[in-house]
Structure 1
Amino acid sequence: MGRITDTVKVLLIINVIFFLGSQFVEVTYQYFSLWFPYSENFRVWQVFTHMFMHADVLHIFFNMFMLYMFGSHLENILGKNKLLILYFSAGLGSMILHLGVLYLDFWPGYDAMLSNGMSIEDVNTFLKTSSYPTSIAQFVSEDALYNTYTANRNPMLGASGAVFGLLAGFMILFPNLELMVFPIPIPVKAKYLIGGYFLLNVYSAITGHSIIGPSNTAYWAHIGGALIGFIMMYYWKKNSFNNKRWN
C-alpha cells in the first residue's frame, strides 16, 4: 500500500461525509440517490450525487478500499485531471447503462397500461402505490406490472461504477502486475483478477444469480463503468503516453 494521493483523499473524504450524513438524516437517500426518471423522487443533481451515496458500512468500505488501492496508483501516472475525468466518466457510463436496462424492464408494462385504458393519472398512482384497477390484469401480466413498479421504485447509489472504471483502467496499464487479494493465498496478475471479477459481474447481470454481493447489486452499472474505463484508458495508453504525464 502506498501513500494516498491528494485527489483520491478528497474523493474519500466526500464519500465518507455523504455516508455519515445519510446515517443521521435519512431523507438524504431520497434526495441524493439516483431514482428512475419517471419517479417523483428524481432530481437532476442525482446524476452526480448518487456516486457518493452508499447503502451500508460494507458497501462504502469495499468501494473506498478499491478507490484507495487503485486510484492512488492511477493518479501517480495520469495526474489529477485525468483521474477525475476517468472516475466521473465511468460513473456516468455506469448510470447510463443501468438506466437503459431499467427502461427495458419499465417500458412494456407502462406502455401496456396506457394502451389498455388506464389514464396517466392512474398509471402515476400505480407507480407510487402499486395499486391498479383489477380490470387491467387481463391485459397486462403480473410480471410486467412488477417490473414496471420495481424499476421505478429502486434507487441506484454507490461509487461502484466509477470504481470499476478505475479497475479497468488499472488493468490496461498494469495487466501483468501481480496482486494479492484475500483470501487468495497466491499472487494473481491484474488482467486475470480484474478480468475474472468483471466476468462474474457479467454472469450475474445476465442470469440474475448473484455470486459476489447482495441480490440487489446493480451489476449492469458495474459493467457500464468498467467498459468506459477500459475504452478511455486503452485510448489514452495507445495515443497519449508518448508525451509526458498529464496534470
Structure 2
Amino acid sequence: MTSIFDDIKSAFSRGNNVLHQLILINVVVFAVLLVLRMIMYFTAGPAAFAYLMSFFRIPSDMGMFAYRPWTIITYFFTHLDFLHIIFNMLNLYWFGMLVREYLGDKRLVNLYVLGGLAGGLLFLLAQNTIPYLYSQGNAVMIGASGSVIAVMVAAATLLPNYTFNLILIGPVRIKYIAAVMVLLSISGATGGNAGGNIAHIGGALLGFLYIKQLQSGTDLGRPVQAVLGFFSGLFQKRRPLKVAYNNPSRPYSSGTSASTRAQSPSHSGSMSPSQIEIDQILDKISVSGYESLTKEEKQKLFKASQK
C-alpha cells in the first residue's frame, strides 16, 4: 500500500506529466468511491451513498445546483461504472498524447477543464429549457466524457489526417473517429442518456472552437491557467531569502555569482525562436494551413506563444 501512495506522490511531483495526472485523478476517485459504496451499502444503506454522490455529480435542478456549484467541476472527475472510466481514460490517453506533444501540457489541461465546463453548462441549459428534457424530471450527470471528447475533437481539428491503427479495421484518420463520436452523441441526445450526450456535444464544440481560436492567436484557456496558478501558488513553499554580507575586506554573497547571472539570460534567449522565424511560420499557416507545419515549426510556435 505504501508503494501505491509513493507512486501517486511521484506522479504529481514530476513536471510535464499532466496527462498521467489527469488519468490518475480519475482512477483514484473511481477506486475510492467504489470502496465507499461497498462499505456504505452494507452499513448505512444505498440512500447514504446517494447522498454522498450528490456532492460529486451535477444536478439538473438549478435550486440544488445553487447549493453545490462545485459539482460543475467534480462531475468530470467522477465515474462509477468500470467500462465508462476505461473507455474515457483510453481515449484521453490516445488523443491526449497528440495534444500534449504538439501543444503542451497546459493546453491539454485547458481542453480537459473547458470541455467539462462546456458540457456541464450545456447540460444545465438543455435540461431546463428543452420541454422534452424538462418533462423527464430532475437528472444528474457524472463522467469525463465531455472533457474527453473535447480533447478528441481538438486533436482531430489540429491533426485531421493523423491515423490510428484500430483493431480489426486498420489505419483510420482521427478526423473520422472524432466525427463518429460526435454523430453517436447527436443520435443519443433523444435516448435514455440525453443529458449526457448533450454534454458530449458541448465538449466537442469547445474542442473545435479552442483549436480554431488558438490558430488565430487567442488561447481560450488563459483563465484556467490563471486560476490553477493562483491555487498552486497557495501550496508552494516560499523560497528562503538570500542573505548578502558586504564586507570591503571580505566580500561574500550566498546568491549566484555575477558572472553566472550575466550568462544565463543570453543562454535562455538563444533557445527561443527569433521573430523572423515566427513570421515565416505564420506566413506558411496563412498559405498552407496549420497542418502543413513540421513538428519543429509547431514546437517553435508553441515556445513563442509562451512568452
Distance in 2, matches of 1:177 and 1:76, equals 13
Q: Which residue of 1 aligns with 2:211?
A: 233
String of CA shifts for 1:123-167, please: whole Å, max 9, x gaps. Answer: xxxxxxxxxxxxxxxxxxxxx8xx547442x21100000001000
1:162 partner amino acid: S
Residues 90, 40 of structure 1: alpha-carbon distance in 2 compared, 3 angstrom cutoff: closer
1:54 partner amino acid: H
Query: Counterpart of 1:199 in 2: which secondary structure?
Result: helix
Contact 1:66/1:163 (CA < 8 Å) preserved in 2? yes
String of CA shifts for 1:95-123, please: whole Å, max 9, x gaps. Answer: 11111110124xx6xxxxxxxxxxxxxxx
TM-score (norm 1): 0.71
Residues 185, 99 of structure 1: alpha-carbon distance in 2 compared, 3 angstrom cutoff: same
Unaligned runs of 5+ in 2: 1-15, 38-48, 219-280, 283-300
Residues 61, 232 of structure 1: alpha-carbon distance in 2 compared, 3 angstrom cutoff: same
Query: Counterpart of 1:187 in 2: which secondary structure?
Result: strand
Q: How many aligned residue pairs are there?
A: 195
Q: Which residue of 2 aligns with 1:216?
A: 193
Distance in 2, matches of 1:22 and 1:48, equals 17
Distance in 2, matches of 1:40 and 1:90, equals 22
Contact 1:8/1:72 (CA < 8 Å) preserved in 2? yes
Q: Which residue of 2 aligns with 1:83?
A: 108
Contact 1:103/1:151 (CA < 8 Å) preserved in 2? no
Q: Which residue of 2 aligns with 1:13?
A: 24
Larger relative contact order (Cα-Cα within 8 Å, sequence gap ≥ 6): 1
String of CA shifts for 1:11-50, please: whole Å, max 9, x gaps. Answer: 1111011111111223342211111243547511111100
From the CA coordinates, give the structure whose radius of gyration is larger: 2
Residues 244, 52 of structure 1: alpha-carbon distance in 2 compared, 3 angstrom cutoff: closer
Taking only the aligned residue pairs, the percentage that are identical comes to 30
Q: Which residue of 1 aligns with 2:289?
A: none
Residues 23, 176 of structure 1: alpha-carbon distance in 2 compared, 3 angstrom cutoff: same
Contact 1:33/1:156 (CA < 8 Å) preserved in 2? yes
Q: Which residue of 2 aligns with 1:173?
A: 158
Query: Counterpart of 1:55 in 2: which secondary structure?
Result: coil
Matched, 1:198 2:182: yes
TM-score (norm 2): 0.58
Equivalent runs, 1:14-93 vs 2, <5 Å: 14-26=25-37, 27=49, 28-38=52-62, 40=64, 43-93=68-118
Contact 2:150/2:208 (CA < 8 Å) preserved in 1? yes
Query: Counterpart of 1:25 in 2: which secondary structure?
Result: helix
Calculate the aligned-residue CA RMSD, in Å: 2.3
